[in-house]
Amino acid sequence: MDIFRSRKGIVLFILSFFVLKAELFAPLVWRPGEGWVDESTGTGLSASSSRDQLNLAKKFEEAKDYENALKAYRILIRKWPYAVFAPEAQFRIGQCLEKKGDFLGANKAYDRMIQKYPSSSFFEQALERKLAIGNLYLAGEPKRLFNIPMGSGLDIAAQIFESIIRAAPYGRFAPLAEFQLGLTYIKEKKYTDAIATFNRLIDKYPNHSLADDAQYEIGYTWYQASQASEYDQSSTEKAIEGFEDYIVRYPSGDKVEAAKAHIAELKSKSTLGSFHIAQFYERAKNFKAAYIYYSDVIKQNPTSDQAKIAQQKIVQLHPLVAKDLGLPSITSTSNTSPPSTPSPQAKGSP
């Protein structure tokens, strides 16, 4: 009898252990993008139809109970993935994550909405929210790890803008994404990428209201690049060309005066750059190159202070380089006119 009682006690212990274990460890399933999901009865979170499930989730969202709202929306997606209410549920998952400050998670949720339900009426709304999130990172929202700032989020902004363009290359948000992508590249100092992006916008959407702004930004991007070095004459020249193209193509544009101001500044910078290069070659006793760059100074801005000095230098250097450069005699060169300048080939190999 004692043995029987002992065995009965052991069996009861084992049964109670498994019952307790079942209660402690609810059926958890790993789902990409959701993590571990409790697939138990979900008391209070499940409804009998997709419509009721959506309404239930909305009530949680309206009450700002975003955790339960997310669970309820995800139950709808899981149980009724092809229901008419599924696209809205997926879109609202993104909205809830945005409200929680999880912008990367929200962007991924909108991506799933775009990929799974491309014919949905929420397609463009998802693109619009992605554009807003991209602008947030462009404006300075950092990368975060456990909500701790971990550096610039500009690369995230670029990825988001690129994904919008891929999803709907001729949709109404694509030109906006192209323009913002160009601005992102400028901030990252990726000037070549920025210029290519603005040119692509002009080529693809020539009649869009942003086309003139893109043309201005081409000049401004080269302007930014030219600031990196006083001797970067090529970027300065391209910046001037970009601004001049803007003025010619969009004479009524709202940035014409700004473009003119930049052109004046750049021409002054170009003159100063040529002047300093001429001085460098003169100190190095490369008189031929010095003569060529002093001539450039006079041609670029004949009324500048540098041009007055350059004119004097031209007179001094003329006897030393006249034979090599095939110049006329000094008596035929007017003091008020720019001197003869050799061909570009001569300038390129002083």
List pLDDT tens digits, range 194-206.
999 999 999 999 9
- Residue 11: the pLDDT is 47
pLDDT at 276 over 90: no
What tokens were used for 299? 């041609």
Range with the poorest average pLDDT among 119-133, 147-161, 247-261, 287-301: 287-301
Establish if 157 belongs to a structural domain: no
Mean pLDDT in residue range 274-285: 83
pLDDT at 347 over 70: no
pLDDT at 241 over 90: yes
Establish if 2 belongs to a structural domain: no
Of residues 216 and 322, more confidence is placed in 216
Say how far apart CA 36 and CA 29 lie, in whole Å: 5
- Residue 341: the pLDDT is 55
- Residue 26: the pLDDT is 44
pLDDT at 244 over 80: yes
Cβ atoms of 312 and 330 closer than 8 Å = no
Establish if 187 belongs to a structural domain: no
Average pLDDT across the chain, whole number: 84
Establish if 52 belongs to a structural domain: no
DSSP state of 209: T
| Helices assigned H by DSSP within 284-332 | 287-300, 305-325
b/e per residue, 43-77, with b = 16+ CB within 10 A? Answer: eebbbeebeebbebbbebbeeeebebbbbbbbbbb
Establish if 14 belongs to a structural domain: no
Amino acid at 311: Q
In the chain, the number of structural domains is: 1
Range with the poorest average pLDDT among 28-37, 47-56, 176-185, 281-290: 28-37
Q: Is the dihedral of CA 15, 18, 22, 27 positive or negative?
A: negative
Q: How many CB atoms lie within 10 A of CB 89?
A: 26
Amino acid at 49: S
Residue 298 — pLDDT band, cuts 50, 70, 90?
A: confident
pLDDT at 309 over 60: yes
Amino acid at 125: Q
pLDDT at 292 over 90: no
% of the chain at pLDDT higher than 70: 80
- Residue 290: the pLDDT is 80
Say how far apart CA 42 and CA 57 lie, in whole Å: 13
Least Cα distance to 246 among 204, 205, 202 occurs for: 202
Q: Rg of the Cα trace of the chain?
A: 34
Q: How many CB atoms lie within 10 A of CB 79?
A: 14
CA distances from 284 to 3, 128, 324 (A): 110, 59, 17
Residue 287 — pLDDT band, cuts 50, 70, 90?
A: confident
pLDDT in tens, 252-269: 999 999 999 999 888 887
Establish if 283 belongs to a structural domain: yes
Pairing assessment for the beta strands 35-38 and 28-31 based on DSSP bridges: antiparallel
pLDDT at 106 over 80: yes
Residue 331 — pLDDT band, cuts 50, 70, 90?
A: low
pLDDT at 233 over 50: yes
Residue 336 — pLDDT band, cuts 50, 70, 90?
A: very low
Range of the structural domain that residue 312 is part of: 270-328
- Residue 50: the pLDDT is 95
Of residues 37 and 266, more confidence is placed in 266
Establish if 298 belongs to a structural domain: yes
Residue 231 — pLDDT band, cuts 50, 70, 90?
A: low
pLDDT in tens, 159-173: 999 999 999 999 999
- Residue 158: the pLDDT is 98
pTM score of the predicted model:
0.72
Establish if 307 belongs to a structural domain: yes
